[in-house]
Amino acid sequence: MKKNILIAFGLSLVFSLSQCKRENDLPQPEQSSEVADLKKTKAVDAAAGLGGPVMMQAFYWDVPAGGTWWNVVKGKVAAWNTAGFSSIWLPPASKAQNGAFSMGYDPFDYYDFGQYNQMGSTETRFGSNTELTSLITTAHNNGLEVYADMVINHNSGGASEFNPFTNSNTWTKFTPLSGKFSRSYYDFHPNDAHAKDEGAFGDFPDLCHSKQWVKDWLYLRTDAVGKYYKNTMKYDGWRFDYVKGFGAWVVRDYVNAVGGFAVGELWDSNVDVLKGWVDGTNRTSSAFDFACYYKMDEAFDGNNMYKLNDDMLWKRDPYKAVTFVANHDTDIIYDKYLAYAYILTAEGYPCVFYRDYEEWLSKTRLNNLIWIRRNLVSGSTTNLYTDNDEYIARRNGNPGIIVYLNDSDTWQEKWITSNWASTQIKDYTGSSTWVPTTEADKRVKIQAPPHSYTVWSKVGY
């Protein structure tokens, strides 16, 4: 279940003033003529190559109540588009048990986006149906896809009814004002079909996905939840909450019936489990790369860069891995700049957390990394050097990059083998003023500042 884990952290980055440029001097998205063309292509799957998509998680736990959030996000989408984002992930948008105070993870009426007076309010915590529709339209007009947070494992807010399968009263009688997808004890566990789905969840009434009524209303009917979200509300894809609670076949059948990008929240650090779930959806869905998330914490906060060489979902299946540094549930990585430099230059589909981008970190530095990703990063990955404090990797495409992560207390330099022979290269983060020329055999010496990073590519981009 959703938790509010917001771990306070301090950010201390030491730079050599003689070697570093001001943030305003860093390469910016608008400096590239390629950006406009990159934006024209919708990103419905993670791309490992040049111009790969970047997602914004456009909320955090306990965003301000009062029905203002849709308009807050709407006011930012144009700038996010300019920065190079491809998509936004919105919180669960329909009416939940706690009405105007709910973050949406206790869903009651899947068709009430703030237009029915029920559960103590008309608007949701985030705003009205009209405001949500306007936000989605504005996002599309700015070249951004919009992903819905789908909570289909459990429901909340039902009335009490006698349940013959438990021989007691249960809160399983749902009669939403939308008049769609009413539910009773037959649609939850335990019932006449079985005691539970493939997973178990005990806090709220647990939907039974083997019931035809539930399948019909979630994704099979012409007015099913998924099809209504896609065809009427105009969502482009789905973030499935708590997919441990039901079989991977549910997401497979949903996406096959409805379409759109999909990513599942399978909270497990075991890459075999993550890859197995993706395969279980018949690869209709990506998964958040929790294996990468926990390895980054060990690498950057535990002074053990060797962990970056461990197995991760993006290394197994880069087109189906969504990487992240923090989200509304968990925020444990302290050295976030290194983590973002890692995921924004690595394969997979990186997701940036709203508070990191808008409040806690330097937007200029993150925009610079996004620009690098959209203009320079391509190809497969080759590890060039790793020790406790340093990690250097090469992306082998055209033009490709060399990323140098340095978690030590001093500037570091290394000779490495680049992508380029007899070619001038530079650091596109602006941290190093070096402009070396690679040797005929492609070798070159590069550097990185303490507790920071550099990203090197051919001069001229």
127-144 pLDDT tens trace? 999 999 999 999 999 999
Which one has a higher pLDDT value, 23 or 327?
327
What CA–CA distance (Å, rounded) separates 114 from 112?
Answer: 6
In three-state secondary structure terms, 308 is helix
What CA–CA distance (Å, rounded) separates 283 from 114?
Answer: 34
Flag the least confident range among 15-19, 95-99, 313-317, 402-406: 15-19
Is 359 noted as a catalytic residue in this protein? Answer: no
The pLDDT, as a whole number, for residue 405 is 98
The structure's pTM equals: 0.90
Q: Which residues of 248-274 are buried (b: 16+ CB within 10 A; e: fewer)?
A: bebbbbbbeebbbbbbbbbebeebebb
Select the CATH number that applies to the domain covering 23-376 from these four: 3.20.20.80, 3.20.20.140, 3.50.50.60, 3.30.70.20.
Answer: 3.20.20.80
Average pLDDT, the chain: 90
Contact 185, 172 (CB under 8 A): yes
What CA–CA distance (Å, rounded) separates 153 from 174?
Answer: 15
What CA–CA distance (Å, rounded) separates 145 from 154?
Answer: 26
- Is residue 142 a known part of a binding site? no
In percent, how much of the chain has pLDDT > 90?
A: 86
The pLDDT, as a whole number, for residue 200 is 72
Sequence-distant (≥ 6) Cβ neighbours of residue 458 within 8 angstroms: 399, 420, 423, 424, 425
In three-state secondary structure terms, 393 is strand
In three-state secondary structure terms, 135 is helix
Q: Which of 241, 253, 289, 347 is catalytic?
A: 241
Mean pLDDT within 366-381: 95
Is 265 noted as a catalytic residue in this protein? Answer: yes
What CA–CA distance (Å, rounded) separates 1 from 206?
Answer: 12
Read off φ and ψ for residue 98, nearest 5 degrees: -90, 15
Q: How confident is the model at residue 383 (pLDDT cuts 50, 70, 90)?
A: very high
- Is residue 409 a known part of a binding site? no
Mean pLDDT within 253-259: 98
Q: Which helix (H) or strand (E) segment is 366 a member of?
A: helix 363-375
Of the spans 200-204, 233-237, 376-380, which averages the highest pLDDT? 233-237
Flag the least confident range among 112-126, 197-211, 255-269, 395-409: 197-211
Q: Which of 265, 335, 407, 427 is catalytic?
A: 265
What CA–CA distance (Å, rounded) separates 136 from 128?
Answer: 13
Q: How confident is the model at residue 51 (pLDDT cuts 50, 70, 90)?
A: low
Strands (E), 208-316: 237-240, 261-264, 286-288
Q: How confident is the model at residue 28 (pLDDT cuts 50, 70, 90)?
A: very low
Q: Which residues of 117-155 are buried (b: 16+ CB within 10 A; e: fewer)?
A: ebbebbbbbbbbbebbbebbebbeebbbbbbbbbbbbbb
Mean pLDDT within 58-72: 98
Strands (E), 201-320: 237-240, 261-264, 286-288
Is 90 exceeded by the pLDDT of residue 447? Answer: yes
Residues in the chain, total: 461
Is 80 exceeded by the pLDDT of residue 374? Answer: yes
Flag the least confident range among 49-63, 317-331, 350-364: 49-63
Is 90 exceeded by the pLDDT of residue 260? Answer: yes
Contact 312, 295 (CB under 8 A): yes
Q: How confident is the model at residue 302 (pLDDT cuts 50, 70, 90)?
A: very high
